Amino acid sequence: MSTHPLELARPFFEEIADRATEFESQGHVSQDLVDRIADTGLYRICNPVEYGGLAATPGEFAEVVEYVASADASSAWVMFIGNSAAFSIADLSGDLGKALSDDRSAYVAGVFAPMGRATRTTQNGVEGFVLNGRWQWGSGSPNCKYLTAGAFIKTDDGSLETLPNGAPRHCSFLIRRDELELLDTWQVSGLKGTGSTDFQVEDLFLPADRMIATEARRTDQAIFRFPYFGFLAIGIAAVALGIAKASLDHVIELASAKKPQGSSKSLAQRPAVQIKIARAQARLRAARLFVFDAIDNCWRDAQDESEPSVESRVDLRLSLTHAVHACAEIVTDLYTLAGGSSVYSKSPLQRHFRDVHVATQHMMVNESSLELTGRILLRQETKVSQL
Tell me, yes or no, whether 238 and 211 share the same domain: no
pLDDT digits (tens, 9 = 90+) for 131-172: 999 999 999 999 999 999 999 999 888 899 998 888 899 999
How does residue 2 score in pLDDT terms, banded at 50, 70 and 90? Answer: low
Residue 264 has pLDDT above 70, yes or no: no
pLDDT digits (tens, 9 = 90+) for 91-131: 887 788 889 999 988 999 999 999 999 999 999 999 999 99
Residue 195 has pLDDT above 80, yes or no: yes
Domain boundary among 171, 187, 216: 216
Mean pLDDT within 33-62? 97
Q: What is the residue type of 49?
A: V
- Please report whether residue 96 resides in a domain: no
- Please report whether residue 98 resides in a domain: no
Q: Which structural domain range is residue 256 located in?
A: 222-377
Contact 229, 386 (CB under 8 A): yes
Tell me, yes or no, whether 244 and 131 share the same domain: no
- Please report whether residue 310 resides in a domain: yes
Tell me, yes or no, whether 245 and 323 share the same domain: yes
pLDDT top residue among 66 and 307: 66
Name the helix (H) or strand (E) containing 207. Answer: strand 197-207
Mean pLDDT within 314-325? 98
Tell me, yes or no, whether 360 and 239 share the same domain: yes
- Please report whether residue 99 resides in a domain: no
- Please report whether residue 257 resides in a domain: yes
Domain boundary among 90, 123, 152: 90
pLDDT at 261: 62
Tell me, yes or no, whether 235 and 366 share the same domain: yes
Separation CA 5–CA 68 (nearest Å)? 11
Tell me, yes or no, whether 173 and 227 share the same domain: no
Q: What is the CATH number of the domain that holds 82?
A: 1.10.540.10
Closest CA relative to residue 108, chosen from 47, 60, 153: 47
Residue 375 has pLDDT above 90, yes or no: yes
Tell me, yes or no, whether 76 and 132 share the same domain: no
CB neighbours of 177 closer than 8 A, spacing ≥ 6? 141, 144, 145, 146, 147
3-state secondary structure 126-171: EEEEEEEEEEEEECCHHHCCEEEEEEEEECCCCCECECCCCCECEE
Mean pLDDT of the chain: 94
What share of the chain has pLDDT > 90, as a percent? 84
pLDDT at 263: 66
- Please report whether residue 319 resides in a domain: yes
Mean pLDDT within 50-71? 97
pLDDT at 353: 98
pLDDT at 55: 97
Residue 341 has pLDDT above 70, yes or no: yes
Tell me, yes or no, whether 265 and 363 share the same domain: yes
C-alpha dihedral over 56, 57, 62, 64, to 10 degrees? -20
Residue 1 has pLDDT above 60, yes or no: no
Q: What is the CATH number of the domain that holds 242?
A: 1.20.140.10
Tell me, yes or no, whether 304 and 349 share the same domain: yes
3-state secondary structure 260-295: CCCCCCCHHHCHHHHHHHHHHHHHHHHHHHHHHHHH
Q: What is the CATH number of the domain that holds 186?
A: 2.40.110.10
Contact 1, 45 (CB under 8 A): no
Domain boundary among 58, 90, 122: 90
Question: How many domains are contained in the chain?
Answer: 3
Mean pLDDT within 275-301? 98
pLDDT at 13: 98
Separation CA 270–CA 254 (nearest Å)? 13
β-pair type (197-207, 126-138): antiparallel
Q: 332: exposed, middle or buried (C-beta count within 10 Å: 0-12, 13-18, 19+)?
A: middle
Give the three-state DSSP class for 3: coil
Tell me, yes or no, whether 342 and 199 share the same domain: no
pLDDT at 262: 56
CB neighbours of 341 closer than 8 A, spacing ≥ 6? 254, 258, 347, 349
DSSP assignments along 76-130, one per residue? HHHHHHHHHHGGGGGG--HHHHHHHHH-TT--EEEEEEEEEEEEEEEETTEEEEE
How does residue 219 score in pLDDT terms, banded at 50, 70 and 90? Answer: confident
Contact 233, 241 (CB under 8 A): no
Separation CA 54–CA 44 (nearest Å)? 6
Mean pLDDT within 14-42? 97
- Please report whether residue 305 resides in a domain: yes
Tell me, yes or no, whether 293 and 227 share the same domain: yes
Mean pLDDT within 283-297? 98
Contact 248, 282 (CB under 8 A): no
Closest CA relative to residue 117, chosen from 102, 104, 100, 129: 129
Tell me, yes or no, whether 144 and 161 share the same domain: yes
Mean pLDDT within 166-191? 95
Other Cβ atoms within 10 Å of 174 Cβ, number? 25
Separation CA 79–CA 102 (nearest Å)? 19
SS3 content of the chain, % helix, strand, coil (to 5): 55, 15, 30
- Please report whether residue 382 resides in a domain: no
Mean pLDDT within 266-295? 95
